[in-house]
Chain A
Amino acid sequence: MSLRSPLGQAKGLGSAKEGLHHWWAQRVTAIALIPLTVWFAFKVAILSMSDYQTVLESIGSPWSAALIVSLIVAAFYHAALGMQVIYEDYVSHKGIRIAAIMGTNLLMFLLAAAAIIAMVRIALGG
């Protein structure tokens, strides 16, 4: 005899009907990252020998800053989704798996926040 209602017992069995969202978000961020990463890689290569002031102005110009913030959001979201799949495939212990996914999500959020704060400072000066 359980105190859970019949509806409560039936829920959680079978498809949660939200499996597509992860897959779709992975693709949307992937498509966004195609131009963003190519642009950023070549920009960094061009700036590799420049002095501090030149790099600061180039990275911090409005369009550049907007693209880099977009890159950061897409990249960390994409990374969190991808790492989740890796854990789900290889970590069999449920508790460790959930902890790994949650820990990675929180760390990705923190790193993205740090990068965006850095970009705000670079773009607005401070």
Chain B
Amino acid sequence: MSSNNRPLSPHLDVYRLPLSALLSIVHRGTGAFLTLGTIVLVWWLMALAGGEEAFMSAQSFMGSFFGRLILFGWSFALFFHLCNGVRHLIWDAGYGFEIGTVEKSSFAVLGVAGVLTFFVWILAFSLDIGV
């Protein structure tokens, strides 16, 4: 055994993940979560196809506290995965690999995802109260 100064893989339980690493695993997590979420989309379209009664009961579930909680989580997961996915496409093209740039784009991804989530909910609620 010659060298003991080789870089080691991070020990996950004692190693604080940098933001870029955290967003990387969250990208996977949101991807898997969105895959599950497609079931909600199929259910909603099926309810709409099934007639007024089926649709209204689906709508009342979506409008309940629990339904809105799922939709809120889903919308943020969607916008996060979307924004981080765009960043991945930019990386695929060969740009943005400097550590400082990655740090900035991490914040940009979180910011844009937050803004999009905010706007989509503001839009829904402003129609709710009839603005």
- The residues of A with any CB-CB pair to B shorter than 8 Å are 27, 30-31, 33-34, 37-38, 41-42, 45-46, 48-49, 52, 55-56, 59, 68, 72, 75-76, 79, 82-83, 86, 108, 111, 114-115, 117-119, 121-122
Contact = CB atoms under 8 A, between A and B. Distances in A.
Contact of B45 (A33, A49, A108, A118): A118
Contacts of B42: 111, 114-115, 118
Contacts of B128: 48-49
The 3 closest A-B pairs by CB, nearest first: A118-B45, A118-B49, A121-B49
Contacts of A31: 89
A37 B78 contact: yes
A79 B63 CA distance: 27
B48 A56 contact: yes
Given A45-B120, A48-B124, A55-B55, A37 B82 contact: yes
Interface residues of B, number: 34
10 contacts: A38-B82, A38-B116, A42-B123, A46-B124, A56-B48, A79-B34, A82-B32, A115-B46, A121-B49, A122-B48
A34 B88 CA distance: 13
Given A41-B75, A48-B128, A79 B38 contact: yes
A115 B92 CA distance: 31
Interface of B: 28, 31-32, 34-35, 38-39, 41-42, 45-46, 48-49, 52, 55-56, 62-63, 75, 78-79, 82, 85-86, 88-89, 92, 116, 120-121, 123-124, 127-128
A82 B85 contact: no
Contacts of B55: 52, 55-56
Q: Which of B49, B52, B123 has the most CB of A within 10 A?
A: B49
Contact of A55 (B48, B79, B89): B48
A27 B88 CA distance: 9
